[in-house]
Chains A and B, each alone.
Chain A
Amino acid sequence: MPRSSRNGVIHKALIAVALALALVVERGSAQQTQSAALQRALEFESSGKLREAVTAFREALADAPLTTVILGLERVYYQLGQSDSLLPLLRTLLAGRPRDPTLRTVQLRTLVMLHRDMDAYGTFIDWANSSPRESTPYREYARLLLEQNRTAAADSVLQLAAKQLSSMQELAAELAQLRATMGLWIPSALAWREALKTQPWLDQAGVYALLSAPPEKRDSLRAVLREPPVELGARRLLAGLELRWNAPTEAWSALREVAPNDSTTAAWVEFAAEAEALEAWSIARDAYEAALKQGAAPAVRVKAAAAALNARDPSATIELLAPYGERPDSTVREDVALLRARAYSSLGNPDGVRNVLQLLGEQLRLDIRDDVAREIAWAFVRSGQLDSAKAAIAATGDDPRARAWISLYEGDLQAARNKLRQLGETTADAVLAQALLSRTRVLRSPQAGSAFLALAQRDSAKALHLFVAAAAEVSEAAPLMLAAAARIATARPDTAGPHAVVLWERIVREHPTSPEAAEADLEWARALRKSGDNAAAVARLEHLLLTYPRSALAPQARRELDLARNAIPPEP
């Protein structure tokens, strides 16, 4: 959403809330007629008649709640670009109520916004002097300064607060924010820990404040937040950080140690949803399971089972769904049936899918029932029984998708070409298959078909070898097959390294004019850089940029080159 329209939406929402609040305040009071001016002001404001709104708000000063009126005037004057017009009124009102926090805050905010720094400072001093034991003046001024990245000034304010106030507990969050802005990561983490004890809703603010800590500080931050006693606030903060540092396992490890209770269970469910959003499926499953053990809502069980399936653990999915029994109730029936069918299909267990269909088929919506039925054929595919898969398709009704893929798995490239094109699928396997079929005129390639089948069976080791072997069968698309094998090798920890590099090197040397050559050069260079051989990586990247200067990968190669030459700061 564009910022202007988003601001518009927020603005309208604020007006609606203000209107509702005003009405609530007024309702039941004996002065219902006296709120007319305020109501008129809010209506003028929401319809964009700002000058009329100013007049009405000023009229409302006589009888409406002061806070509502002043905040309304602040909004309207701001939109008119006349914020300074509010200052004389505030001065008048403050003469009678020198300690009113709303008036003081609005005055301070207006002065800071107008860059009248000396006046803002004077206002803050007046306010602090008139409320000697209150933390509010310090908090509001420090927040405003921090919002403007005026770190040193905010530091001075908080140092003054430390001298003047008996406790800094109420300013712990501001102190934490300030320390983070100053790069004092450990003191900041300590202050956040303190703040979260009384303001647990600030955990996300803590995460964003500490997120930019340099990598070398992360262990120290972990130590501070893991320090006993184990507290939910500190651990939620740490878990949030670990998730964003791409360390979901460590994140869950931090959070699961918190003693279980209702708040902890809710935090685990929230955490699981965050992990799902980052596609950390197995961590999401663990967190959901932990919450289930503490009595989380039954719907969480379906989420846990889905996360397990996405984590490629279909056995766990079946196990998690077991408590629903053979005939789950209607609220979860369709989800449970589909998840069970997909889990059995992933396991290559067509009987399991058939059983789901038999037990629940009659009670499912027609489209869900068809989805479940289609999994029978896929279960046969994953167990390598292509003839049975074809028979299952014939028995359950046509499935163009399964037919197209089975043609490919059988190595019948001619048949697969037309069928797959019509599907318009955009999964990684489909894109690779389409690329193969458009690059070769070969009619049959059993090796290529078996390689794709191995991918469907999630047997990447077998797929890797079959793609390499297929390169000989489909010579026009040989670099494509080798690149597919190399990508698998890169992703597999046991074969990454020399094996992948050998394949990338083979593409560069044997197929230098192929579309994969630039990628091969880049990946080869990355592997060299990863192994610490920067000089060789530089040579490869220069080769790429000189040989394929118009490649879409040239910008990436230049960035890698800058990193290899130490021309830019290392990536965190």
Chain B
Amino acid sequence: MSLSHSFVRYALFLALAAPRAADAQHLLIPMDDAQRQHLKAYGLTFNALKEGMRAEWLLNYRGGAFLLPDAQDVRRKATIDGIAFEPLDGAAVAAIRGELAGSNMDAVPLEKAPKIAVYTPKEAPPWDDAVTLALQYAGITYDKVWDEEVVKGELTKYDWVHLHHEDFTGQLNKLYLGFRDTPWFVAQRDRLLLTAKQLGFATIPMLKGSVAEKIRQFVERGGFLFAMCGATETLGLAIAAHQTDIAGSFADGSPIADDVDAKMDWERAFAFTRAHVEPSPFVNAMSDIDGHQVNVPARRQPLGQFTLFAFSAKLDPVATMLVQDHRTVIPDFYGVTTSFTKSTIKNGVTILAYEEGAPWVKYIHGDYGKGSYTFLGGHDPEDPQHNIGAAPTDLSLHPTSPGYRLILNNVLFPAAKKKPLKT
């Protein structure tokens, strides 16, 4: 028998496996517990958009299901990746729409795959950062941009930019204290110093401050920013410190400015305000924005679990998109910045996830200029402790990870066609 027989068998299988396939017009990708490959389902939807198809995100319906056209290529990819799908005819789709209309649900059209950039060194493997791990696993393509590209203004090419554990204050997360003699730290510092010199900056803090400003401008002009871990906190600090020196002398040769808190310009920052900058080079923390202070023995807080807010799908579709998940309570995970202290968050910022009774929140979103930003604390949802040197997370062991779904919600939400709010 030749190979063509195999494809005949495949077609036969599809016909048998899906009795309604002949009449189907759509494929429903359930995102509740019927799905066994939640993360790959985002990749399937993203790539369908990339190939010019239209899709819909059914908010609050079956865990945030996707409705895709019943195309042979979509079925093929779903079968290969083990993504559950359900063929639907016109009547079934109409019944779903009726259910959406009468409940706290809605259908958001997805039109165009956003162009994605991840701020990371060219040589960094994708396993260093939860977002690149998720993108790589889901099969979503992205470009890497680093200091040179950002300083030269190349962010304008992209719709969506992600930042992870970069320290935009230029103090290399104060790892100098514990790792100053380790080869990887020395190499990282030398590489950054070289880049700074090549781009005309005297110190690493000056280089990173300039990069932070470019990122601020990118959002102000309409870009989508998603940040995790230490980037959330240090980006805010770097932007607010544009007229003062918050880097210790080990980073730039000059001491931190006197009365530095009073010199911070929080007006320009995205989400945070009135934070206290940690002045001591011997305390492994940047400020009091982070509620958990993982690297400061006397301040460190234990991990709990965070709860996703329920929003009105029809009135607040953006926030609803960002919290689509098949779980509403998710175990917390540490990062250089794990959470955001409530008292340092600006008014008007939307809290997407919180920890019951704790003075911090986990996940926030806000508008800035013509764009918007989303910050998620912590480093890796499936590696709660994240020790340096630990093996990278293998997402094939966590294909239904509710924490990673939050990351991928952010990748897809810029694809949504904006509808005028009803309020």
User: Bound state CA distance, A546 and B12, in angstroms?
Assistant: 11
Q: Which of B80, B126, B298, B395 contacts A546 (CB 8 A)?
A: B80
- CB pair A509–B297 under 8 Å, yes or no, is no
Spot the interface stretch: A91-99, A252-260, A421-429, A554-562. Answer: A554-562
Q: Which of A121, A156, A180, A547 contacts B10 (CB 8 A)?
A: A547
* Contact code string B1-34 (vs A, CB < 8 Å = 1, else 0): 1110111011001000100000000000000000
B336 → A minimal CB distance (Å): 10
* Contact code string B395-407 (vs A, CB < 8 Å = 1, else 0): 1100000000000
User: Bound state CA distance, A121 and B300, in angstroms?
Assistant: 11
- CB pair B1–A542 under 8 Å, yes or no, is no
- CB pair B137–A568 under 8 Å, yes or no, is yes
Of chain A, the residue at the smallest CB distance from B3 is A509
- CB pair A150–B300 under 8 Å, yes or no, is yes
Could you tell me how many residues of chain A have their Cβ less than 8 Å away from some Cβ of chain B? 45
Q: Which of B1, B3, B137, B385 contacts A562 (CB 8 A)?
A: B137
User: Bound state CA distance, A484 and B17, in angstroms?
Assistant: 32
User: Bound state CA distance, A567 and B385, in angstroms?
Assistant: 23
Of chain B, the residue at the smallest CB distance from A511 is B1
Q: Which of A121, A183, A510, A558 contacts B388 (CB 8 A)?
A: A183
User: Assuming A547-B9, A568-B396, is B178 touching A155 (CB within 8 A)?
Assistant: yes
B76 / chain A contacts, CB cutoff of 8 Å: 546
- CB pair B79–A569 under 8 Å, yes or no, is no
Q: List residues 131-175 of chain A with CB under 8 A from any CB of chain B.
A: 145, 149-153, 155-157
A558 → B minimal CB distance (Å): 6
Q: Is A543 an interface residue (CB 8 A)?
A: yes
User: Assuming A183-B388, A510-B1, is B396 touching A558 (CB within 8 A)?
Assistant: yes
A496 → B minimal CB distance (Å): 25
Q: Is A565 an interface residue (CB 8 A)?
A: yes
Of chain B, the residue at the smallest CB distance from A547 is B6
* Contact code string B369-407 (vs A, CB < 8 Å = 1, else 0): 000000000000000010111111111100000000000
Q: Is B284 an interface residue (CB 8 A)?
A: yes
Of chain A, the residue at the smallest CB distance from B17 is A549
A543 / chain B contacts, CB cutoff of 8 Å: 3, 6
B137 / chain A contacts, CB cutoff of 8 Å: 562, 567-568
- CB pair B6–A512 under 8 Å, yes or no, is yes
A152 / chain B contacts, CB cutoff of 8 Å: 178, 284, 294-295, 297
Band of interface residues on B: 35 or more
A155 / chain B contacts, CB cutoff of 8 Å: 178
Q: List residues 81-139 of chain B with CB under 8 A from any CB of chain A.
A: 81-82, 125-127, 136-137, 139
Q: Is A545 an interface residue (CB 8 A)?
A: yes
Q: Which of B10, B139, B297, B391 contacts A565 (CB 8 A)?
A: B139
A561 / chain B contacts, CB cutoff of 8 Å: 80
B404 → A minimal CB distance (Å): 13
Q: Which of A156, A509, A567 contacts B139 (CB 8 A)?
A: A567
User: Bound state CA distance, A561 and B82, in angstroms?
Assistant: 12
Of chain A, the residue at the smallest CB distance from B178 is A155
User: Assuming A182-B387, A547-B6, A568-B395, is B297 touching A512 (CB within 8 A)?
Assistant: no
Q: Is A395 an interface residue (CB 8 A)?
A: no
Q: List residues 269-304 of chain B with CB under 8 A from any CB of chain A.
A: 284, 294-300, 302
Which of B2, B136, B389: most chain A CB closer than 10 A?
B389
User: Bound state CA distance, A247 and B393, in angstroms?
Assistant: 25
B286 → A minimal CB distance (Å): 14
Q: Is A86 an interface residue (CB 8 A)?
A: no
Q: Is B182 an interface residue (CB 8 A)?
A: yes
> Looking at chain A's contact residues, is the secondary structure mostly helix, strand, loop, or mixed?
helix
User: Bound state CA distance, A72 and B79, in angstroms?
Assistant: 59
B1 / chain A contacts, CB cutoff of 8 Å: 509-513
A567 / chain B contacts, CB cutoff of 8 Å: 136-137, 139, 395-396
- CB pair A149–B385 under 8 Å, yes or no, is yes
A183 / chain B contacts, CB cutoff of 8 Å: 387-390
Of chain B, the residue at the smallest CB distance from A559 is B396
User: Bound state CA distance, A558 and B126, in angstroms?
Assistant: 19
A549 / chain B contacts, CB cutoff of 8 Å: 13, 17, 79
A149 / chain B contacts, CB cutoff of 8 Å: 385, 387
A568 / chain B contacts, CB cutoff of 8 Å: 136-137, 394-396
Of chain A, the residue at the smallest CB distance from B399 is A558
- CB pair A156–B387 under 8 Å, yes or no, is no
Q: Is A414 an interface residue (CB 8 A)?
A: no
Q: Is A330 an interface residue (CB 8 A)?
A: no
B35 → A minimal CB distance (Å): 15
User: Bound state CA distance, A546 and B82, in angstroms?
Assistant: 10
Of chain B, the residue at the smallest CB distance from A159 is B178
User: Bound state CA distance, A185 and B125, in angstroms?
Assistant: 20
Q: List residues 290-327 of chain B with CB under 8 A from any CB of chain A.
A: 294-300, 302
A180 / chain B contacts, CB cutoff of 8 Å: 389
User: Assuming A183-B390, A547-B9, is B298 touching A117 (CB within 8 A)?
Assistant: yes
In the complex, 10 of the A-B residue pairs with CB atoms within 8 angstroms, ordered by the A residue number, are A118-B298, A152-B294, A180-B389, A182-B178, A182-B388, A512-B5, A547-B9, A558-B81, A558-B82, A562-B137
Which 4 residue pairs across A and B have the least CB separation, nearest first? A183-B389, A153-B297, A152-B295, A569-B392
Q: Given A118-B298, A181-B387, A572-B391, 7 more contacts at CB 8 Å?
A: A117-B300, A149-B387, A153-B296, A183-B388, A214-B391, A513-B1, A546-B80
Q: Which residues of A contact B (CB under 8 A)?
A: 115, 117-118, 121, 145, 149-153, 155-157, 180-185, 212, 214, 508-513, 542-543, 545-547, 549, 554-555, 558-559, 561-562, 565-569, 572
